[in-house]
Amino acid sequence: MNYSQMRESLLNLKNEAIALISDTKGQKELERLRVVYLGRKGKVNKLASGIKTLIDSQKKEFGLLLNDTKSAIQQSLKVEAKRISEQREGDWLDVTLPSKHLPLGHLHPVTLAIKEVARIFERIGFTRVRYPEVEWDWFAFESLNMPQGHPARDEWETFFIDAPSHSKYGALVLTPHTSSGQVREMHRLKPPIRMINIAKCYRRQQDVTHTIMFHQFEGLVIDVGISIQHLKGTIDHFAKEFYGKGVTSRLRPSHFQFTEPSFEVDFSCTICEGTGKRKTGKRCRYCKSGWHEVAGAGMVHPQVLKAGGIDPEEYTGFAFGMGVERAYTLKPGLKLDDIRLIYQNDLRLLEQF
Ligand code: FA5
């Protein structure tokens, strides 16, 4: 073998060794390869024995190549040994170890509240319905006795959709209240009607008691002989079921175009227990007066019954629209004094439910 053949053989030996080593499956095979290539009678030493046939300058160069080959094979053996031992550790299973606790998600507090509200009303004979979030002007306003240009519309701070209008129902809006389901329900059913419509609503409002997107639940009852007593009884029943016996409700005279007479419904504040003051003596930041306005309500206006195809001479009805978030944040013990926190997706808050 001449010098250049010896050099080529050494290079091939190195490549062959590294390829085989990186393909090994266990420590035993690795040890066998170490002996085959680096052992006393191994392939590298066998080639090294030919060094005596070379002239001095070639001896020096071939010696360096031999050292380089040996250290490359050793390095490759080391890396592979480490990989094999790590793989073993990973595969090892201690069946006595306690299991890992993976975090479990749960329903959002508003979804929990909606389910609870629906259950309370379903138990007293209401049927849950859902009407469109993107609604025609006619159902949101006009059918509710608020014709085009009526100033009462301004109170609903509505988002309008940039889309072609309907020839009969007008513009498209993001529904600002669940009352838009009232006439839809009258079109769907003839009395007796007992509807609970729970849905998303949108308004251009945002502060501690308002969010841009929120939920309302709308109760609508229409039958022969329905009076304010039925309205008050239903609201009281809800307050006791949802909050417990300690919470009281009151109806304050108000005005809505679609009810006559109309009321604001207040529940006593569970944060300051109806006093309007914190224990520190400071004014309750959330209610300011001991009461929370949670709903609008009233006896369905004859014009609205007519828009729904119901004879106001024969039937009467009551309706109320309550904020889900607003009602929920009053739960005893919740002490949520900023309604916007519900929608900040902060796990520190959400995980408490
Ligand atoms: C109405 O929306 C009427 N449609 C209620 C009604 C229904 C009256 C049936 C008569 C008959 P009002 O704008 O007051 O009324 O809203 C009712 C409730 O929805 C409020 O008391 C509050 O609890 C909730 N609410 C209104 N706007 C927001 C908001 N931006 N964020 C959170 N909750 C809101």
Return the pLDDT at 90: 63
Return the pLDDT at 286: 67
How much distance in Å is there from the Cα of 127 to the middle of ligand 1?
21
Domain boundaries, the chain: 3-91, 109-350
Within a 10 A sphere around the Cβ of 329, how many other Cβ atoms?
Answer: 25
Return the pLDDT at 128: 97
For residues 39-44, average pLDDT: 93
* Residue 295 beta carbon below 6 angstroms from any ligand 1 atom: yes
pLDDT, tens digit (0-9, with 9 covering 90-100), for 313-351: 999 999 999 999 989 988 877 778 789 999 999 988 888
pLDDT, tens digit (0-9, with 9 covering 90-100), for 179-199: 999 999 999 999 999 999 999
Return the pLDDT at 88: 67
Output the average pLDDT for the chain.
Answer: 92
pLDDT, tens digit (0-9, with 9 covering 90-100), for 53-106: 989 889 999 999 999 999 999 999 999 998 888 776 666 777 888 888 888 889
Return the pLDDT at 298: 98
Instruction: Round to whole Å and give the CA distance between 37 and 35.
Output: 6
Name the residue among 254, 164, 156, 234 with its Cα closest to residue 194: 234
Report the atom number in ligand 1 closest to the C-alpha of 327.
Answer: 23
Residue identified by tokens 């509240």 is 113
Percentage of residues in the chain with pLDDT exceeding 90?
65
* Residue 297 beta carbon below 6 angstroms from any ligand 1 atom: yes
Question: Which amino acid residue places its CA nearest to atom 12 of ligand 1?
Answer: 296
How much distance in Å is there from the Cα of 285 to the middle of ligand 1?
20
Return the pLDDT at 314: 98
Six token digits for residue 316: 């009467």
* Residue 318 beta carbon below 6 angstroms from any ligand 1 atom: no
How much distance in Å is there from the Cα of 149 to the middle of ligand 1?
21
* Residue 320 beta carbon below 6 angstroms from any ligand 1 atom: yes
Q: Strands across the sheet with 159-160, in order?
A: 134-136, 172-174, 159-160
Ligand 1, pocket-test mutation among 255, 256, 340, most atoms within 8 A of CB: 256
How much distance in Å is there from the Cα of 295 to the middle of ligand 1?
5
Asked if the bond preceding 261 is cis, omega within 30° of 0, the reply is yes
With beta carbons less than 8 A apart as the criterion, state whether 203 and 210 touch: yes
Within a 10 A sphere around the Cβ of 20, how many other Cβ atoms?
Answer: 17
Residue identified by tokens 């995980």 is 351
Q: Which CATH number fits domain 109-350: 3.30.930.10, 3.30.565.10, 3.30.450.40, 3.30.365.10?
A: 3.30.930.10
Return the pLDDT at 4: 87
Return the pLDDT at 100: 83
For residues 34-58, average pLDDT: 92
How much distance in Å is there from the Cα of 225 to the middle of ligand 1?
26
* Residue 259 beta carbon below 6 angstroms from any ligand 1 atom: yes
Six token digits for residue 4: 């250049």
Q: How far is CA 188 from CA 129, 182, 195, 309, 336, in A?
A: 11, 10, 11, 10, 38
Name the residue among 127, 141, 284 with its Cα closest to residue 193: 127
Instruction: Round to whole Å and give the CA distance between 16 and 18.
Output: 6
Instruction: Please report which residue ranges of the chain form alpha helices under DSSP H.
Output: 3-21, 27-38, 43-48, 56-91, 109-123, 137-140, 180-188, 228-243, 302-307, 324-328, 347-350
Percentage of residues in the chain with pLDDT exceeding 70?
98
With beta carbons less than 8 A apart as the criterion, state whether 156 and 203 touch: yes
Question: Which amino acid residue places its CA nearest to atom 9 of ligand 1?
Answer: 320
With beta carbons less than 8 A apart as the criterion, state whether 258 and 179 touch: yes
How much distance in Å is there from the Cα of 309 to the middle of ligand 1?
25
Return the pLDDT at 25: 83
